[in-house]
Amino acid sequence: MSSQSGQFLIRFWGVRGRVPCPGDETVRYGGNTPCIEMQVGEQRLVFDGGTGLRVLGQSMLREMPVEAHLFFTHAHWDHTQGFPFFVPAFVKGNRFHIYGAPSSNGTTIKKRLHDQMLHPNFPVPLQVMGADLQFHDLRATETINIGDVTVENDRLHYPGEALGYRVSWKDCCVAYVTDIKNRPGHLDEHILEIARGADVLIYDATYTCDAYEEKVDCGGGWNYAGWQEGVKIAEAAEVDKLIIFHHEPAHTDGFLDDVSRKLLQELPGGIVAMEGMVVEVFSSSLKGKPKGINVTMLA
């Protein structure tokens, strides 16, 4: 994926939560777990390393050598399971800056990625990866500057100690908030701050509010927000475009079509994320085009 110097491009390589779900009933929205690529001016950022990261890696092979900044929200399997299959990381000459917050017991993102590739879980250890891998431990609320791109983060209320991210460049801003244990009707101030005035908010919407409460009652630990909460956050934070994401694996294409219709009734312009979807956020500095957002699908 490439961009002009005045563009901010977002591509969705994986949009599911929990577990990959390929099949006839998920072919349109996609079955890969979370991975979002952002080409921001001259910088390439990647958020989360679910199975969508494997597909992104295949695309990158046409462009090598490559350099990118990979940000993990947290280390649950659905957000890391694509990393061992990320082929560009095995190729010398590529460079990847990898960011994540240490867990409450001090375990770094490097150790968590390393340990999931140890025998007997995986046949090839992380040390075999030939690319230049530079690991960075993030503090909550820390600001990272990558050229003229600013990446901010904050803790989310979630058992997996997830981070939400806010990416700013020129007059463009995109917020990425996934894996939230939130109470319906309660607007989390941390999320509001991450999303405040964003052009695009990518928001976890695993369940409807009814299903969310059902999961909480059963005590199974799958505690996520519903898309209705995303609407409230988007309105309160004055977001231009809400994209709901991290879909429940059992939600078929038909189910998500129905969610899309309901979302549009609640918030005109709201979008249900699909694999292959590309969102262009135009800066006012791009000659010949006003500031705005364009959504397309690429094969």
pLDDT tens per residue, range 176-214 = 999 887 665 678 899 999 999 999 999 998 876 664 445
* Residue 218: CB atoms within 10 Å: 9
CA 83 – CA 230 distance, rounded (Å)? 28
Give me the residues paired with residue 98 across strands.
70, 135
CA 129 – CA 90 distance, rounded (Å)? 4
* Residue 145: CB atoms within 10 Å: 8
CA 281 – CA 129 distance, rounded (Å)? 34
pLDDT band at 291 (very low <50, low <70, confident <90, very high): confident
Q: What is the pLDDT of residue 167?
A: 98
The superfamily (CATH) of domain 7-297 is Ribonuclease Z/Hydroxyacylglutathione hydrolase-like (3.60.15.10)
Cα–Cα distances in angstroms (integers) from residue 53 to residues 12, 37, 105, in the given order: 10, 9, 27
Instruction: Evaluate if pTM is beyond 0.85.
Output: yes
CA 196 – CA 211 distance, rounded (Å)? 27
**Token couple for 296:** 């397309």
Q: What is the pLDDT of residue 220?
A: 44
Asked if 165 and 202 count as a contact pair (C-beta separation under 8 A), the reply is: no
- Say yes or no to pLDDT of 221 above 80: no
The secondary element (H helix, E strand) that includes residue 73 is none
* Helix, strand or coil, per DSSP, at residue 228: helix
Instruction: Give the model confidence (pLDDT) of 122-141 as tens digits.
Output: 999 999 999 999 999 999 99
Q: What is the pLDDT of residue 5?
A: 54
